[in-house]
Amino acid sequence: MVGGGVIQQILRRKLHSQSVATPVLSWFSSKKAHVDAGSSGVRAFALLGAGVTGLLSFSTVASADEAEHGLACPDYPWPHDGILSSYDHASIRRGHQVYQQVCASCHSMSLISYRDLVGVAYTEEEAKAMAAEIEVVDGPNDEGEMFTRPGKLSDRLPQPYANESAARFANGGAYPPDLSLITKARHNGQNYVFALLTGYRDPPAGISIREGLHYNPYFPGGAIAMPKMLNDEAVEYEDGVPATEAQMGKDVVSFLSWAAEPEMEERKLMGFKWIFLLSLALLQAAYYRRLKWSVLKSRKLVLDVVN
């Protein structure tokens, strides 16, 4: 009984600081003072008071807007998902073409060099030819001047803007992020990027997006600065694959996945090999341990009374 009263006191003091329903709570406690029922009644009252206050304080909390997190993207069955699955390199090659023709005007990929593409998406000659198409600033020369020269394999992929400020200025204040690591830099990156690129839709009733932004349910908040870039046949694939929006999305995400995780194939092979070898080593170690311990484990202790 006394314990119940103390609990009620503690609860009241604790809840007083959080609750907005203080007059209600004091009514409860004043009512309790007159009632000197059994301990179970007091405890029930204390719990009731706590419950009501809890409920009331929750109602003052605003419910989170689901647009804030963006629509959850579905899981697509990427061909490179399995434990021993490699990238679809034809898809990477097409994806690079999509990046170059559609995305490179705004998004940099400053961590990828032309030489990284050799053996992955292009032959050395093709990569050299691609690199030679761009102009790179180099220098200083013997006269102390900077000069421009055609690109080499060792050069990074070209950046569309000189710096972030220039990028923001050209895109209404929004910075088109560097895509070198984008599939690792976003939660559920591969599925998210695909869903985002192919998910431009009309906004729901009641939502209006201001001029300069576009609605995309997958983007946190719903209003993205990038317009819909993948449109059917925007690109003509070298290998003749029909360039639908979904096809281009798949290919460009394969390319971006490779760019973020070029080591993936080697990593999977290494992982498979070492997990297999270490399991064998585990079996061997377990056997050896049991062998050594068998001496002790098979001991017989005899308790003999000597008279």
Residues that bind another protein in the complex, under the rule CB under 8 A: 65-67, 71-79, 90-91, 195, 198, 201, 204-208, 217, 222, 232-233, 240-247, 249-250
For residue 199, the minimal CB distance to another protein (Å) is 8
Alpha helices in 63-134 (DSSP H): 89-98, 114-117, 124-132
| Nearer Cβ to another protein (143/202) | 202
| Nearer Cβ to another protein (184/201) | 201
The DSSP 8-state label assigned to residue 180 in this structure reads T
270 annotated among ligand-binding-site residues: no
| Nearer Cβ to another protein (134/234) | 234
Residue 120's Cβ-count burial label (10 Å; 0-12, 13-18, 19+) is: middle
Strands 135-138 and 147-150: antiparallel
Residue 175's Cβ-count burial label (10 Å; 0-12, 13-18, 19+) is: middle
103 annotated among ligand-binding-site residues: yes
Q: Are 254 and 105 in contact (CB under 8 A)?
A: no
For residue 93, the minimal CB distance to another protein (Å) is 12
For residue 107, the minimal CB distance to another protein (Å) is 22
| Nearer Cβ to another protein (109/248) | 248
| Nearer Cβ to another protein (176/222) | 222
For residue 71, the minimal CB distance to another protein (Å) is 5
For residue 65, the minimal CB distance to another protein (Å) is 7
Q: Are 112 and 127 in contact (CB under 8 A)?
A: no
Locate tokens 């709570």: which residue?
Answer: 25
For residue 96, the minimal CB distance to another protein (Å) is 15
Q: DSSP 3-state helix, strand, coil percentages of the chain (rounded to 5)?
A: 50, 5, 45
Task: Indicate the SS3 state at residue 122.
Answer: strand
For residue 31, the minimal CB distance to another protein (Å) is 40
CA–CA separation, 244 vs 240, rounded Å?
A: 12
Q: Is the peptide bond before 140 cis (omega within 30 degrees of 0)?
A: yes
1 annotated among ligand-binding-site residues: no
Amino acid at 165: S
Residue 265's Cβ-count burial label (10 Å; 0-12, 13-18, 19+) is: middle
Task: Indicate the SS3 state at residue 277.
Answer: helix
Token pair of 168, please? 């923001």
| Nearer Cβ to another protein (118/229) | 229
| Nearer Cβ to another protein (9/231) | 231
107 annotated among ligand-binding-site residues: yes
Residue ranges for the known binding site for heme c are 103, 106-107, 226
Can you say which residues are annotated as belonging to the binding site? 103, 106-107, 226
